[in-house]
Amino acid sequence: MNERLVPLNLPQPDLKMARKGNQPMVWDFIRKKYLKLTPEEWVRQHLVHYLISLAYPQTAIALEGGFKLLKQSRRTDILVYKNGQARMIVECKSPQVRISQATFDQAMQYNLHYQVPFILISNGLKHYTAKVEKESLQFLESIPTYHEI
């Protein structure tokens, strides 16, 4: 459907796809609407489905939430809540984007606002999950289950 969408290192979800003119679209079942299918959205949709397969409740997942940080508007890709509190920031990048120190810095800046104990960063090919301890990250072997966050 889109030549820029590569197979990811995540289970292939059953995504509902459509076209709007020449633009590929994907159904976002969390927000209940079709979205432009960009490489980053491809990763986000795969990650949402994967988190749900790890027993994350659909109702605990918020997508593209906005907030202000140092008077600038920011937006998290995925924010996971548990018992009404933010517990994990998920930062999605396009598969073509190399995950770098700047990506971790971005997530840690967002965490100045949210103060979550877990951060997940993925470009769909490589995934990094860490537990936030003060101002450092303790990397984990795998994405924690909902119960573990």
In a domain, 149, yes or no: no
Check residue 4 and give its pLDDT: 66
pLDDT for the residue 127: 96
Residue segments in the chain with a per-residue pLDDT below the cut of 70: 1-4, 68-70
Residue 5 lies in a domain: no
At residue 3, the pLDDT reads 52
pLDDT at 2 (0 to 100): 52
Residue 2: inside a domain, yes or no?
A: no
* CATH number of the domain enclosing 97: 3.90.1570.30
SS (H, E, C) the chain: CCCCCCCCCCCCCCCCEEEECCEEEEEECCCCEEEECCHHHHHHHHHHHHHHHCCCCHHHEEEEEEEEECCEEEEEEEEEEECCEEEEEEEECCCCCCCCHHHHHHHHHHHHHHCCCEEEEECCCCEEEEEEECCEEEECCCCCCCCCC
The predicted pLDDT at position 66 comes to 72
Range of the domain at 116: 17-139
Three-state secondary structure string covering 46-62: HHHHHHHHCCCCHHHEE
How many structural domains does the chain have?
1
pTM: 0.90
